[in-house]
A and B are shown apart, each in its own frame.
Chain A
Amino acid sequence: MERGMPAGGPGGPVTSQAPPFTVPMRYMLLGMAGFVLFAFDLVAQSIHLSGGGAFLPQVVALTHLLTLGSLLSFIMGAVYQLVTVAFLVPIASERCARWNFWLYAASAFGLIGSMAIWSLTGLLVFGSLATVSLYVYAILIIVSVSRSRIRGPMLWFVISAHVYLMAAVAAAWLMIASISGLRLGGVFPQLLATHILLALGGFFTFLVMGFSFKLLPMFTLSHGFATWRQKWTWVLAHAAVCLALIGIWAQRPALEWAGGVAGWMAFASLLFDIREIFRKRLRKKTEPPTRMVVVAAVAGMAGVLWMLVQLGSGREQDGWQGVVTFYLLGWVVLTLMGYAYKIVPFLIWTQRYSAKAGRNAGAGDRPGPGMRAHTAGSAPDAVTASPPVKPQKVPVIADLIQLGRSRPVLQSFAIGVMVLSFSGVARFTAGAVAGSIMIALSVLGFIWQLQRVVDPKQVAKELRGHD
């Protein structure tokens, strides 16, 4: 250590950059509400999910109820919070993030409704508004993280994810424009494939991979693990998307296949990294949601493998529907559910209890001047001695949710995904319905557990009047 230098982290003391509670929470609550609607709609549409119903308006709406109405909304909230924790920078404009919520909520659900009734005007209007909203979000995040002094693969993943998001949205808008009469020379199939690839393989995959490099060490208390492979994961993931894109537009199946191989290698590399993180963890007992993230990464790799098989065996719509369903639900959604079990209680605890934690002094403890105290293992006494006050323990984050109870929810979700995906390919309607019901029940169980943490009545009070 240098002589006479202040200790502490790089760059010296930095204050907390977290946005106000209402910014991430509003987006996350919308995402949770969207997830509930998705669960009900999934069962309602399940009969169409075997035997090539992917292009039915109600199935297109169902897909976007999941991606736009739930996942993206939840992700936006989580990213607004995580960026400040992982990159130690504030959001470039909190006001913009706050107001963009309303534009996003209106445009996303307007767009989903327009898909369900297949209104071209609605698609164009709400699609354009959603494009603006998502560009605002993506630019906000890119600008925010670019200001961070933290560099490296996590930053590259997060920036890449948001560039892919903008590209995926552009492809979607062009699709809507082409449906509405813009002459694009018969490239609709390529646009559709590009949109799915950029959204799933680009945005969701890059974002989940990038933040996993931060969240998994946080939740397992891992340090000192090798990180050299992370940049190769990033390179391979980009190679996968780019090769597949060129293959789609040049109509070269070999390039699409090469992209699939690169994608499979990216997941293999990610799994090696995850193994490293787990090997170097301080916390010996890992929680079910964290373990399920590993299962989800294996599902991602299996999904890419399935895509390779699909590329080699033909281009039937059922098969592709199965691949997309399996990859989206098994990799993206399962991972996000695992992380949500940690992120939502963290937000709620920080909002409601962090200012109270350690306030009450337990017997035998002598808090220092200006300090609030808490004794482990027993309910501490209140500081004021008269009149007698019933001891009241300020909950810690582990008291907000029993993470062991997430195991059956996540396991039944994973089984439901497999049943639905394979039944879709096999055109087994009863299986698709059963898989959908399993998924829907798991989603409802998941939301039930999270709403007990959130407490809707209390959160409504906390959100009221903060715009």
Chain B
Amino acid sequence: MDRKITVLDVREMLRAKQEPFQVIMSTVATLGPADVFELHATFRPDPLIRVLGKQGFHAAVVQETEDHFIVQFYKEDIDIPVFHLDNRGLEPPQPMVRTLAFLDGHEGMKTGELALEIWNERVPAFLLPELEERGFSYEIQDEDHGTVRVRIRRAG
């Protein structure tokens, strides 16, 4: 199944006191069944999470800075929130660097409250020992069209 992450940054709109709801919903309408919608906002958008939750979307929230929240919405039903990184098309070692930077930089990964799913072009041979060393478990799925999904979470 082809999948992509669609990104929408509404921080400028919010700072300009504009209402981004329509833009958000029209973007959501374009999503495919396996797509992830990534929203950048200046606060944690709990009302939107509830609205989209009623449409079957799950949400994973990470806070990058005091006024930068990234929320990813996806339909796959998983027991804990999952953040997604699309590493396809990136030159090595960027996929591995991006992944480890996320794992090391987000408290939710360390506490086990958040999982990370990366989309790579191949099974990341050099990443797996790093994951084991850091105490993470991983699940891998090869998809037919050259996408490998690796879901990473705190082991145990």
CB distance from B138 to the nearest CB of A (A): 5
Tell me which residues across on chain B come within 8 A of A350, comparing CB atoms: 122-123, 125
A1–B9 touching, CB < 8 Å? yes
Question: What is the predominant secondary structure among interface residues of chain A facing chain B?
Answer: loop
- The chain A residue sitting closest to B79, CB to CB, is A366
Pick the contact of B40 from A1, A346, A362, A377 — CB < 8 Å? Answer: A1
Asked whether any CB of chain B lies closer than 8 Å to the CB of A226, the reply is no
Known contacts A16-B146, A376-B131, A397-B128; A368 and B76 CB within 8 A of each other: yes
Chain A residues near B9 (CB-CB < 8 A): 1-3
Taken residue by residue from 345 to 383, chain A's Cβ proximity to chain B (1 for < 8 Å, 0 otherwise) reads as 010011000110111011011111111111111100000
Pick out which of these stretches binds chain B: A184-192, A213-221, A253-261, A421-429.
A213-221
A residues 48-68 in Cβ contact with B at 8 Å: none
Verify A355–B142 contact, CB threshold 8 A: yes
A181 at the interface (CB under 8 A from B): no
B139 within 8 A of A: yes
Interface string of B79-96 (1 = CB under 8 A from A): 100000011111111101
Which chain B residues in 129-156 approach chain A with CB under 8 Å?
Answer: 129, 131-142, 145-147, 149-151, 153, 155-156
Partner of A8, one of B86, B137, B153: B86
Q: In the complex, are the beta carbons of B121 and A7 less than 8 A apart? A: no
| CA distance in complex: A18, B146 (Å) | 11
**Neighbouring A residues of B126 by C-beta, 8 Å:** 218, 346, 397
Q: Does B6 contact A (CB under 8 A)?
A: yes
A15 to B146, CA, bound (A): 5
Which of A3, A150, A365, A376 contacts B23, CB < 8 Å?
Answer: A3
Interface size on A, residues (CB 8 A): 57
Given A354-B122, A365-B139, A372-B139, residue A9 in contact with residue B129 (CB < 8 A): no
Asked if A374 contacts B137 (CB within 8 A), the reply is: yes
Residue on A with the closest CB to B38? Answer: A7
Please tell me if the beta carbons of A8 and B140 are within 8 angstroms of each other in the complex. Answer: no
**Which residues of chain A are within 8 angstroms of B151 by Cβ–Cβ distance?**
368, 371
Q: How large is the interface on B (under 10, 10 to 19, 20 to 34, 35 or more residues)?
A: 35 or more
Contact pick for B139, options A223, A368, A377, CB 8 Å: A368
Assembly CA distance A28 to B150 (angstroms): 30
In the complex, the answer to whether A377 meets B132 with C-beta atoms within 8 Å is yes
Q: How far is B86's CA from A6's CA once the two chains are assembled, in angstroms?
A: 9
Q: Which residues of B contact A397 (CB under 8 A)?
A: 125-126, 128-129
Q: Chain B contacts of A373 at CB under 8 A?
A: 137-140
Residues of B within 8 A of A387 (CB): none
> Are B5 and A6 interface neighbours, CB within 8 A?
yes
Say yes or no: B92 contacts A7, CB within 8 Å. no
B51 interfacial by beta-carbon distance below 8 Å: no
- Report A-chain residues with C-beta under 8 Å of the C-beta of B14: none
| B4 in contact with A8 (CB, 8 Å) | yes
Contact B7 A367 (CB under 8 A): no
Q: Are B140 and A223 in contact (CB under 8 A)?
A: no
Asked if B16 is an interface residue, CB under 8 A from chain A, the answer is: no
Partner of B141, one of A12, A85, A371: A371
- A13/B147 in contact, CB under 8 A: yes
**Inside 8 A of A221's CB, which chain B residues have their CB?**
93, 96-97, 100
A8 to B137, CA, bound (A): 24
Chain B residues packing against A (C-beta within 8 Å): 2, 4-9, 23, 27, 30, 38, 40, 76, 78-79, 86-94, 96-97, 100-101, 119, 121-123, 125-126, 128-129, 131-142, 145-147, 149-151, 153, 155-156
A-B contact pairs, 29 of them (CB 8 A): A1-B7, A5-B6, A6-B7, A6-B86, A10-B90, A13-B2, A13-B4, A13-B88, A13-B146, A18-B122, A85-B92, A86-B91, A218-B126, A221-B97, A221-B100, A282-B100, A354-B122, A354-B125, A355-B123, A357-B128, A361-B139, A365-B153, A368-B76, A374-B128, A375-B155, A375-B156, A376-B136, A378-B155, A397-B129
Closest 10 CB pairs of A and B: A15-B146, A9-B89, A358-B140, A8-B86, A9-B90, A398-B129, A371-B139, A354-B123, A373-B139, A7-B5
